[in-house]
Amino acid sequence: MSSSHRHVPGSIKLITFAWRRVSSGSPLPRYPIRRKPRADRAPAAPAPPPPPPPSRRPTAGIHYRCGRKSKNPKRRGEAMAGTCSFRSIVRAPPPPRGLARRAVPVRCCSAAPGGASTSKLVMEVKERLEREHPGLPTGRSGRDDDEMILWFLKDRKFAVDEAVSKLTKAIKWRQDFRVSELSEESVKGLYQTGKAYVHSSFDIYGRPVLVVVAAKHFPYKQDQLENEKLCAFLVEKALSKLPMGTDNILGIFDLRGFRVENGDLQFLKFLIDVFYYYYPKRLGQVLFVDAPFVFQPMWQLVKPLLKQYASLVRFCDAETVRKEYFTEETAPPDFRC
């Protein structure tokens, strides 16, 4: 073979080889095409990494377990029979961030302690009153009245210091006001006007009823001190009628016929002090019956003084009082049909 045939270009050799394979019916082999890098061509940028596979974390508290292929025919049949199985997991929600995990003691203010603790607290208040205020009277509604001491302890959520302070003020007021000496005869002048009275029957909840007729109250014609004595006498009378198991009374303010000259802001302030300091939590509810428009300015002045006790007030009409708080026979005379 000549030297010229020995140096045939590679492309001609490839064509000759391919032609011979096609002529003989043999398939052509597949060879990868290799290209020489060119000096003027920049290298290709590397391919970006593939995205991470989707998270296999289950959603909605459910784990999925899919059947997989197995070499064991028996296991493969089980996987084919149940393609996927799931089981629900009930987990408690994690505590909010920032909250301590330790248990925080909670003080229940409305619950009374046990019997022994209650007796101990009553005895502690009694001893402090005797030691710090020996001049206070004793006996009923005095500094050694266990029932009164227990009531003020409940009102002050069994805080001894607060109960002693409030009880001392109440007993001094009773002593100065001579509440124990009040009688129907001592307040006869105003009592006969019918401006206020204790109803002879209870309401449907078994509470004594104190009725005030505002149209018969004239502050410029009647003595303020006598009005206050009548108020204290009627409250004492209503509380003396408390049946067993009942702790408070119902107050009804009949505002029918109320006029500007019947308004008495000073007496209303006294009434608020009476039920807050001297007879705490003895007023279960207050009904303002058929309040006219002229009463609204006075109510806007009184309402902030009541604070949280304003929730005890209900504005209603005479028919509501008759139907929701009494029967036809037990309703006050002015509220009957």
Q: Which two tokens stand for residue 154?
A: 């409940």
The CA-atom distances, in angstroms, between 241 and each of 164, 186, 209, 229, 266 are 27, 20, 10, 19, 28
Give the pLDDT score at 309. 86
Query: Could you tell me the two tokens for 311?
Result: 């929730």
Secondary structure (DSSP) of 19-60? HHHHHTTPPPPP-----PPPTTSPPPPPPPPPPPPPP---ST
Q: Cα angle at 274 between 204 and 267, to 5 degrees?
A: 100
pLDDT, one tens digit per residue, over 200-253 is 999 999 999 999 999 999 999 989 999 999 999 999 999 999 998 899 999 999
pLDDT digit string (tens) for 18-71? Answer: 666 656 666 655 555 555 555 555 555 666 777 666 555 544 444 444 444 445
Query: For the chain, how big is the Rg over CA atoms in Å?
Result: 47
Rounded mean pLDDT of 262-285?
Answer: 93
Predicted confidence (pLDDT) at residue 113 exceeds the cutoff of 70: no
Q: Give the chain's end-to-end CA distance (angstroms, integer).
A: 143
In three-state secondary structure terms, 100 is coil
Left, alpha or beta for 309 (phi > 0: left; psi -120 to 50: alpha)? alpha
* Tens digit of each residue's pLDDT (9 = 90 or more) over 178-213: 999 999 999 999 999 999 999 999 999 999 999 999
Which residue matches tokens 């003027």?
40
What DSSP element (H or E) covers 286? Answer: strand 283-289
For residues 254 and 289, is the Cβ–Cβ distance under 8 A?
yes
Report the distance separating Cα 308 and Cα 297, nearest Å.
19
The pLDDT of residue 337: 73
pLDDT value of residue 87: 39
Q: Which of 243, 241, 250, 262 shows the shortest CA–CA distance to 335?
A: 250
Task: Tell me the average pLDDT across 72-91.
Answer: 44
* 3-class secondary-structure state, position 209: strand
Handedness of CA 314, 319, 324, 328 (dihedral sign): positive
Q: Token match 């997989």: residue?
A: 68
What's the pTM? 0.65
Distance from C-alpha of 263 to C-alpha of 259, rounded to nearest angstrom: 7
pLDDT for 328 equals 85
- For 196, counting Cβ atoms within 10 Å of its Cβ (0-12 exposed, 13-18 middle, 19+ buried), the class is buried
The H-assigned helical ranges of the chain are 3-6, 10-23, 73-81, 115-132, 146-155, 160-177, 188-191, 224-240, 265-273, 296-306, 318-324
- In single-letter form, the type of residue at position 113 comes to P
H-only helix segments in 91-208 = 115-132, 146-155, 160-177, 188-191
> Chain centroid to CA 219: how far?
41
Q: How confident is the model at residue 285 (pLDDT cuts 50, 70, 90)?
A: very high
Give percent of the chain with pLDDT exceeding 90.
59
206: left (phi over 0), alpha (psi -120 to 50) or beta: left
Over residues 143-165, the pLDDT tens digits come to: 999 999 999 999 999 999 999 99
Q: Coil, strand or helix: which one is 186? A: coil
**What pLDDT band is residue 94 in, cutting at 50, 70 and 90?**
very low
Q: Residue 281 has which token pair?
A: 């939590």
Query: Could you give the CA distance from residue 290 to residue 256 in angstroms, rounded to a whole number?
Result: 6
